[in-house]
Amino acid sequence: MNAAASDVVGEAIRVIAAVDATGVPARVLGGVAVALHEHHPLPASLTRTYADIDVVVEAGQEGALRSVLEGAGYEADRKFNALYGYKRQLYWDRTNERQLDVFIGRFAMCHELDLRGRLADPSGTLSPADLLLTKLQVVEVNAKDVVDALALIDLHTVGLETDGDVIGLDRLAAVTGADWGWFTTASDMLDRLESSAPTLDPERAVTVAARIADIRAAIVGAPKSLRWRARARIGRRMPWYELPEEHVR
């Protein structure tokens, strides 16, 4: 294959094309995935630059993905992969000094998002709902997380996953309805997004605020598991999340 592209979004497209050609189930996530969902122009306030590439691969397929990545010019971080390779792996594009981060079957940061069987989106990324969940699970929020989440909500209507390229309210409800911690962190992040939406231009602000309200209504009104209800009795008196060393970019 050709050498890695200097443009990070173009390089993500190149990598996923190589992956798809071999039939390995893997998809891009993180900020680059948001850029790949850019169906209409975004204002400057909702765009940003990206440093690295993040990919999730179906559990059991990480060896096949390694072959694809090494064939594409990436170098495995053997020490890191030996220690954590069962759940996460690192690769390096030495030409551009760029990191490629691989999550295996799940995206685990402040909460765990099970992505097994959910890596077939034709965009080459996760579904809009799963991408939004990777942002709604952030406890120590930074500006990049807010920008990515608002961009996703600006770029997609809300509906059911069967409707196609929309933010699937049923997926959001299923994840947060099973875990009180997930629900609580997502609700806190929605508060942050609501307070940030008015900074957009008036038309966008109204649209984004309405979609955030729909998302909140969906997760509040969703059926809750027995485990959710039991954990809710404890509430915020005990930690309900993990603090990772770094967030996905």
Residue 122 is predicted with a pLDDT of 87
Contact 200, 150 (CB under 8 A): yes
- Reported as a pLDDT band with limits 50, 70 and 90, residue 3 is low
Residues in the chain: 249
Contact 61, 118 (CB under 8 A): no
Whether 2 maps to a domain, the answer reads: no
> Which phi and psi angles does 44 have, rounded to 5°?
-60, -30
Contacts of 246 (CB under 8 A, 6+ apart): none
User: CA-CA distance, 120 to 133, in Å (whole number)?
Assistant: 17
Domain span including residue 120: 8-237
Q: What percent of the chain has pLDDT over 90?
A: 92
Whether 26 maps to a domain, the answer reads: yes
Of the candidates 111, 247, 248, the residue with the CA atom closest to the CA atom of residue 176: 111
Q: Where residue 12 sits, what CATH number does that domain have?
A: 3.30.460.40
Mean pLDDT over each residue of the chain, to the nearest integer: 94
User: CA-CA distance, 234 to 248, in Å (whole number)?
Assistant: 29
Based on the structure, what is the number of domains in the chain?
1
Query: Which residues partner with 76 through β-bridges?
Result: 91
Q: pLDDT per residue over 121-167, tens digit each?
A: 888 999 999 999 999 999 999 999 999 999 999 999 999 999 999 99
Q: pLDDT per residue over 175-223, tens digit each?
A: 999 999 999 999 999 999 999 999 999 999 999 999 999 999 999 999 9
Q: What percent of the chain has pLDDT over 70?
A: 97
Whether 1 maps to a domain, the answer reads: no
Q: pLDDT per residue over 50-68, tens digit each?
A: 999 999 999 999 999 999 9
Contact 32, 8 (CB under 8 A): yes
234: its two tokens: 């404890």
User: CA-CA distance, 103 to 29, in Å (whole number)?
Assistant: 10
Residue 1 is predicted with a pLDDT of 52
Where are the strands (E) in 52-196, listed by range?
Answer: 53-57, 75-76, 88-93, 98-104, 106-108, 112-114, 158-159, 167-168
Tell me the C-alpha to C-alpha distance, in Å, between residue 94 and each of 17, 98, 117, 151, 195: 20, 7, 32, 30, 40
Mean pLDDT of 81-107: 94
Residue 245 is predicted with a pLDDT of 66
Whether 198 maps to a domain, the answer reads: yes
Whether 245 maps to a domain, the answer reads: no
- Reported as a pLDDT band with limits 50, 70 and 90, residue 39 is confident
Whether 96 maps to a domain, the answer reads: yes
